Amino acid sequence: MLQLTDVAVRAFTANEQEEPVAILKNIHMRVEQGEWIALIGRNGSGKSTLLKLIAGFQAGEASGFLDWGDALASRSGIKAPIVMQQPEASMVGATPIEDLIIMLEQNGVKGELIAEQAANALARTGMLDRGHQPVGTLSGGQKQRVAIAGCLAVDAPILLMDEPTAMLDPEASIYVHDIVRKLNRSGIAVIWITQKLDELREGDRVIALEQGEIVFDGAAEGFYARSRAMDSVCERLGFEAPYVVQTAWELEKHGVELASLPLTPAALAKAVQRR
Ligand SMILES: Nc1ncnc2c1ncn2[C@@H]1O[C@H](COP(=O)(O)OP(=O)(O)OP(=O)(O)O)[C@@H](O)[C@H]1O
């Protein structure tokens, strides 16, 4: 569905004499429909730049090859919007419905279809009943749901989420996370940048970046896997594993072998019960 082959991005500094700085290097990745990809890395590792590149907002000078396959063929060149930490920065309408209508107009959707598509998208994120509420009065989580509705309205082939829960309280974070999980289960691919590792679920694919390069691309369980001599990738990158994973590591240290590494409290309980 989406393929990046040997992509690199360099940024020019203010000093013309200096060599451009490499932000992304040797990026090879392929995203299939329906995948959930957690994009992880320390501050400045290149996560947002990679997302911007995929979305079509080029940061700096890019080389390599980015191919959307036929994902955009029927969408007349519509690109994928990014849902950011503070979505109001990219909202142009005074209300959710107005915001989506403007977005659809800008994307060349026919007039008679606009109202229905805007309403459908808001309904899918549970925001239709607040469609006419001024954007400034919405909570952070509600604004995120409007931003996600915007992606659905323009039929984005992938949801690009740049730390969408970073500014939200735990309850709103779970709500937004659950909505996007549900959309993902319906078949839409998601790339989800996060520093909150407890948002990972069994079966998620993790792509970890370090200094602009992919240093891990595999299942979440592999991201936490420890081998005898080596720490996990998670630890090597300086992240603290979620409490559940640390508990599983402690159990293993004490000779309690689990069939698979649990990522949620419920999975931990099941893994212990099954022994
Ligand atoms: N246009 C630009 N010009 C110069 N440097 C840039 C530019 N865009 C990004 N960078 C640099 O590239 C590096 C990667 O930035 P990016 O925002 O992609 O990282 P990130 O992993 O998303 O970080 P964070 O977790 O802090 O959001 C940083 O060092 C940043 O300063």
Q: Which residues are registered as beta bridge partners of 11?
A: 21
Q: Is the CB of 61 under 6 A from ligand 1?
A: no
Q: Tell how strand 158-162 and strand 189-193 pair up.
A: parallel
11 has a pLDDT exceeding 70: yes
Q: In the prediction, which pLDDT does 111 show?
A: 86
Find, among 71, 10, 17, 25, the residue nearest to 210 by Cα: 25
Please report, for residues 104, 141, 208, 251, the alpha-carbon distance to residue 254 in angstroms, rounded to integers and kept in the order given: 57, 41, 29, 5
Instruction: Pull the structure tokens for residue 240.
Output: 């603290």
57 CA to middle of ligand 1, Å?
14
Q: In this predicted model, which residue has the larger pLDDT, 165 or 1?
A: 165
Q: What is the amino acid identity at position 30?
A: R
Q: Tell how strand 36-41 and strand 189-193 pair up.
A: parallel
Question: Is the CB of residue 60 less than 8 Å from the CB of residue 12?
Answer: yes
Q: How confident is the model at residue 200 (pLDDT cuts 50, 70, 90)?
A: very high
* Nearest atom within ligand 1 for CA of residue 60: 1
- Mutational pocket test of ligand 1: of 15, 40, 48, the residue with most ligand atoms within 8 Å of the beta carbon: 48
Q: What is the mean pLDDT of residues 155-172?
A: 93
**What residue segments make up the domains of the chain, in order of their start?**
33-61+70-213, 226-274
* Nearest atom within ligand 1 for CA of residue 209: 21
Enter the pTM of the model: 0.93
Q: How confident is the model at residue 75 (pLDDT cuts 50, 70, 90)?
A: low
11 CA to middle of ligand 1, Å?
9
Q: Is the CB of 134 under 6 A from ligand 1?
A: no
- Mutational pocket test of ligand 1: of 47, 82, 85, 239, the residue with most ligand atoms within 8 Å of the beta carbon: 47
180 CA to middle of ligand 1, Å?
25
Q: What is the mean pLDDT of residues 56-85?
A: 75
Question: Is the CB of residue 118 less than 8 Å from the CB of residue 97?
Answer: yes
pLDDT tens column, 202-259:
999 999 999 999 999 999 999 999 887 789 999 999 999 999 999 999 998 898 888 8
Among 3.40.50.300, 3.30.750.24, 3.40.80.10, 3.40.50.150, what is the CATH number of 33-61+70-213? 3.40.50.300
Q: In the prediction, which pLDDT does 77 show?
A: 55
Contacts of 95 (CB under 8 A, 6+ apart): 131, 132, 133, 134, 135
